[in-house]
Every structure is written in structure tokens, then in C-alpha cells.
Structure 1
Amino acid sequence: MTTVAKSPPDGPVTPLHRNRDFMLLWSGSAVSIVGSTASTVAYPLLVLALTGSASDAGIAGFFALLPTLLFQLPAGALVDRWNRKRLMIWCDVLRCLGAASIVAAMVLGELRLAHILVVGFAEGTFSVFYGLAAHAAVPNVVGPGQLRQALSHNEARGRAATMLGTPLGGILFGVGRSVPFLLDAVSYLVALVGLLLVRKDFEAERTTRRTGGMASQVWEGLVWLKDQPFVRATTLLVAGSNFLFRALFLIVIVMATAAGASSAGIGIMVGAAGAGGVLGSLTATWFGRRFSLAALVIGANWVWALLMGVIVYADHLVVLTVAYAAMWFVGPVWNVAVGSYQLAITPDRLRGRVLAATSMLSAGALPIGALVGGLLLDAVGPQRAAAALAVWMVLLACAATFSRSVRRSTADSVDS
């Protein structure tokens, strides 16, 4: 198992809230996440208003998500080859222009479905590049011993911004169809200004020239991942839990409806789950300092398995909401612990490619989970569908418990 080298800092480490470059990157990304989430909610509403076709809205959603599956691996190689800050700047510029083109077309009365599909696909593509570059840049922006804390801040930022952007998209669309997309364009401008003000480089000095084509560089990242048993095992466990969470989302909504929840009640339940995720993000550093990686990985899976049992037998909306929110609380604790370790041990020259490979595996389970959740509901009903997922979660917990690479992990911390 690879161990994390800990070198003492050369001098006093600037706290994150006083780290100018980190705060510029953090706050700019927070604003852009709010804008992009609002426009993501507004896109299907816009297509429905434009064409009146639910299938067209589904096609628009498919085109926006397709780059996540198509471009992760090549984007990872390019993130390791190109200047990351410059790449992120261009991504913000192009995403801003895409959102602005939607606004301009609506103002001129010339908006067409094809335009929406192209912009959605392009924005999704640039977001893949931006996300990988931003994640790979974190160790180069924060000080020694701050990686876990920085990822905890990023988790909280993403979840809080998504919580804000989701209802905001619907509200702003009601004010005017172009308003969410105008907000999206402005949010990318704000993030762009923040990036332009950052002084630090987003990659370590690259002293060797890369050789070989794209395929060989992607393969280099995959080989490195294959040789890291702990990272490989936890990536597969993440894929399994992502599959469960995506299937569970629809099942929980149906269970809440059966328990008498109104649409407002369901909104409150989803909001409570989001709040649980934010709280988990804020406490992730505390857990990481007190428990080993192996304990966190194994414990998280068993807590999820236990909460799935509660959900199966929940006969009251409050019990269902609390259990579901608790499941969301655990997720960021896992993400920060495992993610900070992975970033710490991955060589900077490989970070984009390794992040792309792990994202490809974990994100690939999401559409499958959505499909299986719907099929289970149709076939056996919500309670039995939840029971099937509970069995799946127990199997994942057993896999984590009996995994040699997880149990033998010698890395208790990535921070000093």
C-alpha cells in the first residue's frame, strides 16, 4: 500500500480563510455552481415550454449529461498536459458565451431545440474539463496539512450551492424564461474574475516532456490506479453506493408520496437531505482526524446498510426523512477522507488522469441506478424495491469489511 509522505512545513501555514488564492477559487466556483444548477433546472422547463414534448426534454437532459461519459478519460489526459488555470479560464469564457447565446436567442425570438442541445452538450463538456482541473489544482493552492480541510470546504460549497440553485432555477424561470440563463452567464463571469486574480500555479513544475499519444497517456493513469489497491477498492465501492443512491432517490419520493406527503413535503424532505450533506461536509475533517481510513470506509458502508433497513420499515414521513438525511450526512465524510488520500498520494503529473478514471467508474453507475430504480418500482413496489437496495448495501458493506486492501490500509491521515 502506498503511504503518504509528510514533510514539515517550511514556515507558518496560512489558514484557509486567509488563503487569498484558495478563497478566490472557492468563492468563484460556489457562484458558478449556483448559476449552473439553476440553469440545469430551467433547461427541461424551457424545452417543455418551447416544444411541449417531454421526450424532447429528456433528450436535452441526455445531451447535457453525455459528456460526463464520453470525455472523462481524454479530459484527464489534457488536464495533466495543459496549463490548468488557463484551461479553467477558457472553460468559464466558453460556458458564459453558451449561456448568453440562449438569452440572446430568446430575446430575438429565434431559439430552437437544436440550439439548446448544442449549448447543453458544450456546457457539459467544458464542465468536465473544469471540474477535473479544479480538483487536481487543490493540493497546489493550499498549504501543508490542509488538504482534508480544503476538500471539506469544497464539499460543503458544492452541496450548499446546489441546494440554493435548485429552487432558484424554478423561481427565476417563473420570473422570466431567460432569467436563469442570464444568472448562469453572470456566474461564469464572476468565477472567471476570481481565476484571473489567483496568483498561484495550479500544477507543480513539469520538468519532463510527455511522450506518446493520448491513448498511452490515458493508459498510464489507468495503470497507476490498478497498482493502488486501496484507491481501486474504494472507487468500486463508490460506484456501488452511487448506484444505490440514484435508485433510492426515486424510491424514497414514491414512499413519501404513499405516506401522504405533498409536493411541498417532498421538497422539504429533499432539502433536509441536502442539509444533512452540508453538515456532513462541515464535520468531515473532525471525523478524519479521529478515525483511520479503514474505519471510515467500513463504518460508512455499515451505517448506510443500517439506515437502509430503517427506510425499508419507515411508516412515517418524519422517520423516512431523518433516515434519508442521515444517509446524505455520511456521504461527504467518506468523500473527504477517501478523496484527500487519493489526491495526496497521486503524483501531480497524473492527477487529472486518475481523477478522470475514478470519476468515470463512479459516475457510470448513476444512469444505471436511475434505470434500475424505476424498473424495481414497477416490478415490486416501493417497499420491496427499498428492501432489494438494502440487501445490495449489506453486500457492499461486507465487501468493504472483507477487502484486504481496505483492512490493511496503513494510511491513517493525509494531514499533519
Structure 2
Amino acid sequence: MRTDTATTHTTPDTTPDTAVAPVPLRRNWRFQALWAGQAGSTLGLQIADTAYPLLLLALTGSATLAGAFGALQIGASVLFGIHGGAAADRYDRRVVLIVGDCVRLLACASVPLALAVDRLTVAHTLVVAVVIGATIAYTGPTRLIAVRSVVPPEQLRQALAQDEARISGAGLIGPPLAGALFGLGRGAPFVGTAVASLLSLTAALLVRFPSRPETGADREAAARGGALAGYRYLARNALLRPVLGVVLLINVAGTAMLLPVMVLLRGQGTSSTGIGLALAGEAVGALAGALLVSRLHRLAGPGVLLLAVSWLTVPVLLAPLLPGGTVTVFAALFTVGLGIPTLRVMIDLLVFSRVPDALRGRVIAATMTLFTAGMPAGMVGSGLLLDHLSPAAVLVAVAVLLTAGLVPATAGRTLRRAGWPEPPVTPAPSS
């Protein structure tokens, strides 16, 4: 019996050990369907991140309420992420994915319907923020596991690189698309988010994938350890601990950079459109960097690549202080963006290859929660610093703090000596 992800097969003329080439990734319909559904979901979330704050600003005129949408969404994702990973390990993963997509679809569809009958309230909108954040916490780990389960190990890096193109493309297209949809009508962006959620749900309904830990021992292990088992695993793992610590530092520094850069460019007379174009440099760089993942992974080990991109972030933080305004900022963000897909795929490969299946959902959820928690920390930290320092001084302070965090990680041997995990051997299916 042969499937589109098998690397061996049995026929009357061959033995079970005869290996054949896996189906090319472009013809792996299960992966491509999951990818398309996740692309739609990511694009919908990018539209929502822009459209909902704009709607709240139009309804209330309050910047605080406009910012509350993102804060509540991130907060819900962090809070529910603790249980989201446990659900991915203990319950039918496909059911978790379908239920999460259904709930998000209903929440997103309720907004244009309420607008159509002139019944939308601020409370309704903020509840939708919480629902979206919660569903991300449950579907995020499950989608990552689903992608791995339908791709042969030797094609995993290629599949994850394609997934990075989805993330970068959505980050680049989503905000301007939200603005364009607003031009068509106040409810248009929210219809778009609902349609994107429907696409994601359709893919979850169509694609079947292994929906529970693979062995009986794994299923028994999944029932033990509690929801915090993923955090304990990361804390004990000698390699993942420094890897995630450094990536968390980059996330905090990168997020902390945005507000002072916007203030700095605004002080130079740059328009809102110009600021948006300058900040798009990271997404454009990441989109280009998705094509370099395999080449960079062959060039150096995971720890060396992580340290290289991390140290490159330090001068990028200081680049806005140089002449050139938007052009300089765009070029600096583009440069560091080239390495982002490489790091994301690196994290995926290390987690997928080294974490037992029984813990995979909780470890992925813990990783996503740690990274997500770094975003508000960077935002709040830079805002507090801007109350007392100039934008230039804040950028210097963030660069100094990042440098201080990178020095011990670079001096240690764990990251510098880390190697890529060997892909697991795909077992031959029974005849």
C-alpha cells in the first residue's frame, strides 16, 4: 500500500526494503491543501490585525480601545496556549483543528453581520479579539504537527520553507489589503477575514492526517505530565533552552524597535505611507529569505546561524540613526529579514526531530507562547523608555541590552557546536 508521503512500497517485483523517491512536494495534495488553508488563515489574521483597530478607532475615536484589540488577542493566545498544547497531545488533533476553525469562522462572520444591521458594539469587537487569540492557541500547534505528518522527513525543510513564504507573503499583503477593503466599505475587511477562516476550515475538513500520538506508549505518555510539561521539557533541554532564549531576545528587541523608529521617522517629516513602506522591509526580506533556507542550512549549523542573525540585528537596531530615512530603515530591515525564515525553520526542525510525539503539542505551544509573550514586552518596554528618552536613545538602549544578552550565549559552546538533527528514517508500510 502506498501513500503520497511514503518513501518505500511493496510490489510483486520488489521487496519491502526497496526505496523509491517520494512524491514531489508540489504533488503532495494533502500538504498543499493544508498550506493553502493555513495561508488563508494567516492572511485573514493579518487583515484583522489592521482592520479591527481601525474600526474601533472609527467607532470610538479612542487610540486606547484601538490598541486593546491586539492586546486582548495576544493575551488570550498566551493564556489559552497553556491548554492548547495539551489538547494537541491528548485529543484528536483533526477535531481540535476543525472545532477551532469553526469557532473562529463564527466569530469573524458575526462582525460584518452586526455591521449590516447596525448592531456592532465595542464589547462585541473585543470579545472577537479574545476568541481569535484563543483559537490561535489551539489550532497553531495542531497545524504544525499536521504539516509534519503529511510530509516525508527528507522534504520537511522544503515544506517549512514554503510555509515561511506564506507567513512572509501574508505579512506583506495583509495590511495594505485591509486598507483597500476598507475603501470598498466598512464591512468589507471583516467579510474578508470570514472568507479566509472558511478556507482554513475547508482544508481541515478535506485533509486527513494522523490525529493522535502514533504509538500506545506515546498516547499513555501524552496523558501524563500536565499542561506545563512542554515548559519543563524546554527548561531541561540543553540545546533548545539557549536557542529559544536567543530567539526570544530577538523578538523583544525587534518589537521594541518599531515604536521609536516610527517616532523618529515622523519627526523627520515622513508620511504614514512612507513609514509603512519602510517597516515593510522585514516582510520583503523574509519573503526573499524563504528561498535561501536550504542553502543557509547547508552553510552552517543551527547555532552558528542563530548567532549570526542575532548579531546582525544589533547594527540594524542602530541603522535608523544613519542618514537616508525610509530607505535606510527599509534596507536594514530587509537585510535582517533575510535570515528570519532560516531561524523559524530551524526551530521547527529542532522541535519536530527531537521532541517525543507525546509532548510535541505542548512543546510547540510553549515555544509559541514564549515568543508571543516577547511581543508585548517589547512594545511596553519601548513605550516606557520613550516617556523618558529620545527615540535615538531608546534604539541605543535596546541594542545594548540585546548585545548583553548575546555575549553569554556566544561565549558558550552549546550553540556554536550544535548540529542539524538527522532526519528519521521513514519505516516501510506493512504489505
The residue that corresponds to 2:203 in the other structure is 194
Distance 1:233 1:307 in 2: 22
- With over 3 angstroms needed to count, the CA separation of the structure-2 counterparts of 1:317 and 1:120, relative to structure 1, is closer
Tell me if the contact between 1:140 and 1:203 (Cα under 8 Å) persists in the aligned partners: no
- Shift in Å at residue 109 of structure 1? 1.6
In 1, Cα distance between equivalents of 2:191 and 2:421: 46
1:4 paired residue number = none
Q: Residue 384 of structure 1 aligns with which residue?
A: 393
Contact 1:139 1:344 in 2 (8 A): no
SS in 2 for 1:380: coil
Tell me the amino acid that sits aligned with residue 399 of structure 1. Answer: P
Alpha-carbon distance in structure 2 between the residues aligned to 1:103 and 1:317: 36
Alignment-derived partner of residue 74 in structure 1: 83
Most deviating of 240-249 and 379-388: 379-388
Partner of 1:261, secondary structure, is coil
Distance in 2, Cα, partners of 1:273 & 1:301? 14
Mapping for residues 17-416 of structure 1, pairs under 5 Å = 17-208=26-217, 209-210=219-220, 216-314=225-323, 316-411=325-420, 414=423
Deviation by residue 1:375-405 (Cα, 9 ceiling, x = unmatched): 2233221222111122123223323311232
C-alpha distance in 1 between matches for 2:135 and 2:174: 19
User: Partners in 2 of 1:308 and 1:357 — Cα distance?
Assistant: 27
3-state SS in 1 of match to 2:186: coil
Cα deviations across residues 318-369 of structure 1 (Å, max 9, x unaligned)?
A: 2232112212222222221232122211112211100111222222121111
Residue 244 of structure 1, CA deviation = 0.2
C-alpha displacement at 1:50, in angstroms?
2.4
The 1:356–1:315 alpha-carbon spacing in structure 2 relative to 1, beyond 3 Å, is same
1:399 counterpart SS class? helix
Whether contact under 8 Å (1:146, 1:415) holds in the other structure is no
Give 1:122's aligned amino acid: V
Distance change in 2, residues 1:398/1:412 (3 Å): farther
Q: CA deviation at 1:306?
A: 3.4
2:318 & 2:131 partners in 1: Cα distance? 41
Superposed displacement of residue 39, structure 1: 2.2
Distance (whole Å) between structure 2 residues aligned to residue 105 and residue 339 of structure 1 = 39
Task: Please give the secondary structure, in 2, of the residue aligned with 1:71.
Answer: helix
TM-score (norm 1): 0.91
Give the Cα separation in 2 of the matches to 1:322 and 1:110: 45
> CA 1:204–1:299 in 2, change beyond 3 Å: closer, same or farther?
same
Cα displacement string for residues 112-137 of structure 1 (whole angstroms, at most 9, x for unaligned residues) = 22211222211211121111111122
Identity %: 33
User: Take 1:303 and 1:319, find their aligned partners in 2: how far apart are those partners?
Assistant: 15
| Residues 102 and 374 of structure 1, relative CA distance in 2, 3 Å threshold | same
CA contact (8 A) 1:284 1:337 kept: no
Aligned-pair CA distance for 1:196: 1.9
> Residue in 1 aligned with 2:24?
15
Q: Distance in 2 between matches of 1:384 and 1:372?
A: 13
What is the DSSP-based 3-state SS (H/G/I as helix, E as strand, rest coil) of the residue aligned with 2:274?
Answer: helix
CA distance in 2, matches of 1:141, 1:168: 31
CA contact under 8 A between 1:312 and 1:387: conserved in structure 2? no
Aligned counterparts of 1:56 and 1:260: Cα–Cα separation in 2: 27
SS at match of 1:11: coil
SS in 1 for 2:292: helix
Q: Give, in whole Å, the separation in 2 of the partners of 1:201 and 1:103.
A: 36
The whole-number CA distance in structure 1 between the counterparts of 2:355 and 2:325 is: 45
Query: 1:297–1:400: 8 Å Cα contact kept in structure 2?
Result: no
Structure 1 counterpart of 2:38, which letter?
A: S
**Amino acid in structure 1 at the alignment position of 2:330:** T
How much has 1:138 moved relative to structure 2?
2.3
Shift of 1:314: 4.4
SS at match of 2:154: coil
- For 1:304, the aligned partner's letter is T
Aligned residue identity for 2:196: S
Letter of the 1:351 counterpart: R
Match of residue 16 from structure 2: none
Distance 1:316 1:183 in 2: 34
